[in-house]
Chains A and B, each alone.
Chain A
Amino acid sequence: MSDDRTVLTEVATGLFRDLCTPGDVVAAEATGWSERLWSALTESGFPLVSVPEEAGGSGGDVADACALLTVAGRFAAPAPLAETGLLGGWALAAAGLELPEGPLSVAVGAPGDAVELAGRRFSARLSRVPWGGRSDRVVALAGSGGQRFVVSAPTAAATVTNGRNLAAEPRDTLVWDDVGLPDDAFAPAPPGVDGAALRLRGALARAALIAGALARVAELTVRYTGERQQFGRPVARFQAVQAHLVTIAEEAELAGLAVSVAALNARPDPSFLDVAAAKAAAGEAATIAARASHQAHGAIGMTKEYELGQLSRRLWSWRDEFGSERYWSRELGHRLAAAGADALWPSISTGLVSEPASSPEGSFA
């Protein structure tokens, strides 16, 4: 890890440790929000890491943003970190649109969604928008007159129906009904800024959160099974329980490394092969590790207060968000099949493609 990124990770860890305890996470479930946490994050510039400073962001690169998300995942942070910077902030900055003060969200097109832009008249129905109702703006892509636009739709002009994922993180439905957009709310989308690219970033972001959560699940399970006594000894002394610990460690490491490599290879944008493989692997890891850690914990893991449940409920949600394992496996499979049998091994054996830059231009601080 670059020195800057190590510092970033340490600072973020300290911040979350203070402001995002398991108690804070439980408390935030009622509203899906922790104002205290969000203002501290904003003050540190964390939400806009990877968005260029010229555009009003915090600087840094995709790998910095993913390192931050991995920490956020560990702490089950109830905050639209990825949506604000890596996804929405990226699209707005690329299109030359202004970044709002508050949180951003994005829509990449859930089934049944519709977006219509005619002149400056905007109509849309967007569902499962992360922290949609909490955001200042929602970033969406719209076609109009044969051109593609980045739209920064004001949330205040939408009708919001609240929804949530399994961890009570807001996943809202927003409807704009023939709203007139201000000038600063849409601009032509530059090449490379499209639905597929946004989805790819979303998938990478969720994979990074999953990796962080898995690392914590692994720690928690080792700790708990080392303390919990049955039959006169710690349950971790039973081989059947040890097998769960090993499974969790394997899956956590596997997902973590796949995400790191995908993030480090994103120069400047994440690559399809890296992200598809990382999200598919992380999603599968989430399923396997969540099951094993619940099994190893027994009933305590089924309580709402205990930390494991905050992580496992997120894992069960994040694995489907921005494309499930099946979705990304299928996309990847079609791509690999088109390239043919002899291209399969060269593709699989492509790992980290170049030395990580030691210090990205204009650090995040």
Chain B
Amino acid sequence: MQFAPTVLTPAEEALRAEVREFLAAELPAGHRPALGFAGRHDPEFSRTLAERGWVGMAIPPRYGGHGRSAVDRFLVAEELLAAGAPIGAHFVADRQTAPALLHFGTEEQRQRFLPGIAAGEVYFSLGMSEPDSGSDLASVRTRATRVEGGWTVTGTKVWTSEAHRNHFFAVLCRTSPVEEGRKHAGLSQLIVDLSAPGVRISPIPYLDGSHHFNEVALEDVFVPDDMVLGELGSGWQQVTSELAYERSGPDRWLSTFPVLREWLRERGAAVSGEEAVVLGRLAARFRAIRQLSLSVARALDGGSAPVVEAALVKDVGTRFEQDLVEALREAAETELDQGSRSLFPSLLAEAVLTSPSYTLRGGTTEILRSVAAKGLAA
């Protein structure tokens, strides 16, 4: 295990101060904070952020990005999430698609997509889950068939977050039939234009009543050869590869922080002893989890691959996001009301409705724990 205490450099402190100042101006007190990275889709905000250099931070300058460290990205992300900034438009492309393109994409693909991602203008969804394939991703049935100049793809993806607003998605599909005993072979990732002919996007109403995810039906959708992401047949390795440890960032433990802050704002300084216990307990754990997560970012910059550490952080962090909601509900002793005109009660209601997703999205707690346990035994 390599969780080392991490101090911020003066340059990192300065970056953080700059982001704080920006957010104080952009998101005035009283704005309704988004809860987590999927909280709100706001292209204008994404572009403004990009102008400041805070999108595409992992992307090298030659592709329009900024070549910043994992710690710099961590610091910007945690400020945005703590403030409840509306980062839903660009976040997935920035966190997940851009690194995949950098690692596995062709030069042409990088040049085509990365500048747009870094500008906060090109948005991606993830095309992995299907009706019969969730945790057991290798069982996906969407298949691509060879045709002149490319592939035609047919199948159905589900739970596709923001497909109705985003531009592309990376589709995990079969490019060759399952061979006996080798179900991880023959899978590939194809970049599919969500506006292409044959793509049908239908909403799946989300638990809180919003339009968040979708069913995306693909019917003989043509995908040119140059839109195959990475190597043909390496889709499985790509989606489960070292990118996995990029996923233990602040988005895995800060989703519900704004609820705590707004509760405190409502309560004011005169909290009861019991309320102080709740606040102190949550703050103590926040500090501890943040330090773990930051130390993973630092380790990444040092060139190591802290796979187990990242899984532990995601597990402990996402469960904490949920615990926080329940602790505040108990402290508040109020009936949940999404339509409340006061900020805290309506945020609390939103958090209760969306919190089960924290331990599901991006790989369930159970699957994550299996990954971590294998590493611990090793």
Contacts and interface: CB of A to CB of B under 8 A. Distances in A.
A348 B265 contact: no
Interface string B247-283: 0000000000100111011011111010111111101
A281 B320 CA distance: 13
A345 interface: yes
Nearest to A253: B3
B94 interface: no
Given A261-B291, A351-B8, A336 B280 contact: yes
A329 to B, nearest CB: 3
A263 to B, nearest CB: 9
B5 A261 contact: yes
A298 B312 CA distance: 24
A349 B82 contact: yes
Contact of A352 (B5, B264, B281, B370): B5
A27 interface: no
A349 B284 contact: no
A245 interface: yes
A276 interface: yes
Nearest to B281: A329
Contact of B316 (A254, A328, A353): A254
A243 interface: yes
A253 B287 contact: no
Contacts of B236: none
A107 interface: no
A146 interface: no
Contact of B279 (A250, A281, A332): A332
A337 B264 contact: yes
**In this complex, which of A226, A239, A333 has the most chain B Cβ atoms within 10 angstroms of its Cβ?**
A333
Interface in A217-272: 222, 226, 236, 239, 242-243, 245-246, 249-250, 253-258, 260-261, 264
B265 A257 contact: no
Interface in B337-375: 366, 369-370, 372-373
B269 A284 contact: no
Interface in A312-357: 325-326, 328-338, 340-342, 344-356
A351 B292 CA distance: 10
A280 interface: yes
B277 A246 contact: no
Given A281-B285, A349-B82, A354 B292 contact: no
A117 interface: no
B17 to A, nearest CB: 10
B288 A257 contact: yes
A332 B280 contact: yes
A277 interface: yes
Contacts of A330: 273, 276-277, 280
Contacts of A333: 271, 275-281, 283
Contact of B290 (A236, A276, A349, A354): A349
Contact of A337 (B257, B276, B312): B276
A245 B373 CA distance: 7
Contacts of A264: 5
Q: Range of interface residues on chain A? A: 35 or more
**In this complex, which of B82, B276, B278, B316 has the most chain A Cβ atoms within 10 angstroms of its Cβ?**
B276
Contact of B292 (A254, A276, A331, A348): A254
Given A250-B312, A352-B6, A281 B284 contact: yes
B7 A353 contact: yes
Interface in B1-19: 1, 3, 5-8, 16
Contacts of A353: 7
Contact of A242 (B276, B280, B309, B369): B369
Given A329-B281, A333-B275, A341-B262, A239 B366 contact: yes
Contact of B291 (A222, A226, A257, A276): A257
Interface in A166-217: none
A332 B281 CA distance: 8
Nearest to B2: A253
A92 B377 CA distance: 47
A281 B288 contact: yes
Contacts of A239: 366, 369-370, 373
B190 interface: no
**In this complex, which of A328, A335, A349 has the most chain B Cβ atoms within 10 angstroms of its Cβ?**
A349
**In this complex, which of B6, B286, B312, B373 has the most chain A Cβ atoms within 10 angstroms of its Cβ?**
B373
Contacts of A329: 276-281, 284
A151 to B, nearest CB: 31
B376 interface: yes
B276 A334 contact: yes
Contacts of B257: 345
A348 B280 contact: no
B230 to A, nearest CB: 30
A351 B7 contact: yes
Nearest to B295: A257
A325 B276 CA distance: 12
A285 to B, nearest CB: 8
B271 A337 contact: yes
A169 B312 CA distance: 34
A344 B295 contact: no
B280 A341 contact: no
A277 B370 contact: no
B294 interface: yes
Given A226-B377, A245-B373, A337 B292 contact: no
B224 to A, nearest CB: 42
Given A245-B373, A256-B3, A333-B271, A348 B276 contact: no
A11 to B, nearest CB: 21
A250 B6 contact: no
A332 B284 contact: yes
- List 6 A-B pairs, minimum CB-CB distance, nearest first: A333-B276, A333-B280, A329-B280, A332-B280, A242-B373, A341-B265
Interface of A: 222, 226, 236, 239, 242-243, 245-246, 249-250, 253-258, 260-261, 264, 276-278, 280-281, 284, 325-326, 328-338, 340-342, 344-356
Given A333-B275, A341-B265, A353-B7, 5 more contacts: A250-B312, A257-B295, A277-B288, A326-B277, A355-B7
21 contacts: A239-B370, A245-B373, A249-B312, A249-B372, A250-B312, A258-B288, A276-B280, A277-B288, A281-B287, A330-B273, A332-B284, A333-B275, A333-B278, A333-B280, A334-B280, A337-B271, A344-B260, A344-B261, A344-B283, A351-B7, A352-B8
